[in-house]
Chain A
Amino acid sequence: MSSVTEDQLWSAIADPSRRRVLDLLVGGGGTTASSLAQNVPFSRQAVAKHLVVLEHAGLINRQKEGREVRFRVDPERLNDAARAMAELASQWDQRLQAIKRLAEAAYKESNDHESH
């Protein structure tokens, strides 16, 4: 992912309302803007704006089906996002593991000193 694209991805996901829209789209297999608007506590105009941002980030696609426009999550793009997140998500885990190593080494050292 280029950094510009990645920035778009992160800022697309940074907004709680947009995540709500994305959640609904992940759950539904092709959803219209009006159907989304019925399931969120904000206006149809706001939904439309969020859809544009998500679309620009490549997270969703729009498809015209008859008279309706349906929005779907792009699984590959979301997978990219999930991978990037998983990579970053390991950071606290690594920090906790490091804390454990440091604390256990310090404790062991203090015990060794005491036993001499």
Chain B
Amino acid sequence: MADLTIEQEILIDAPAEVVWRTITEPDQIAQWFADRVHVDLQSGGAGSLVFEGKAADRATHAALVVETVDPPRQFSFRWGHPDGEVPLPGNSVLVAFTLSAESGARTRLRVVETGLEVIGWPEDEKARYVEDHRHGWAHHLGRLENLFVAKSG
């Protein structure tokens, strides 16, 4: 079957250098992703995301590890790995941003999220993963949704 990769892209009316800052600077990331962000912007650098819940006591934390930093072209990180483990293919989800310059000082920004299909954890670990990272699943599961729409439409 097809793997569980999701891809989305958007065309932005700003040069790649500007888009790069938006997707990599912690105070910028805090405006489109998590509520509080720390990231050591180098390959192997650690980062943390805090998502505030609706109630103050519902905040969730996510750790990430930066994989690729190639300004202003590529930025990727892994997350979703078990606490205390090094994120690698097989225990984590890779989120990769690619920036391509377009004519007229525009940038095509593409995000690809991959990794869930190779996760070989025991069932209970996987279930815990899904519980903790439910929001990240949507994109992978979009395929199933499409399938459903195709069959029933």
Contacts and interface: CB of A to CB of B under 8 A. Distances in A.
A86 to B, nearest CB: 6
Nearest to A83: B145
A88 B126 contact: no
A20 B2 CA distance: 10
* A interface residue count range (under 10 / 10 to 19 / 20 to 34 / 35 or more): 35 or more
Which among A20, A96, A110 has the highest number of chain B CB atoms within 10 Å? A96
Size category of the binding interface on chain B = 35 or more
A88 to B, nearest CB: 3
A99 B32 CA distance: 6
Given A7-B131, A11-B126, A85-B138, A92 B1 contact: no
Interface of B is mostly: helix
Contact of A97 (B10, B138, B139): B10
Contacts of B145: 81-82, 85-86, 89
Interface string A9-30: 0110111100110110011000
Interface of B: 1, 4, 6, 8-10, 12-15, 18-19, 21-23, 28, 31-33, 105, 107, 109, 111, 113, 116-117, 123, 126-127, 129-131, 134-135, 137-139, 141-142, 144-145, 147-149, 151-152
Interface of A: 7, 10-11, 13-16, 19-20, 22-23, 26-27, 75, 78-79, 81-82, 85-93, 95-100, 102-104, 106-107, 110
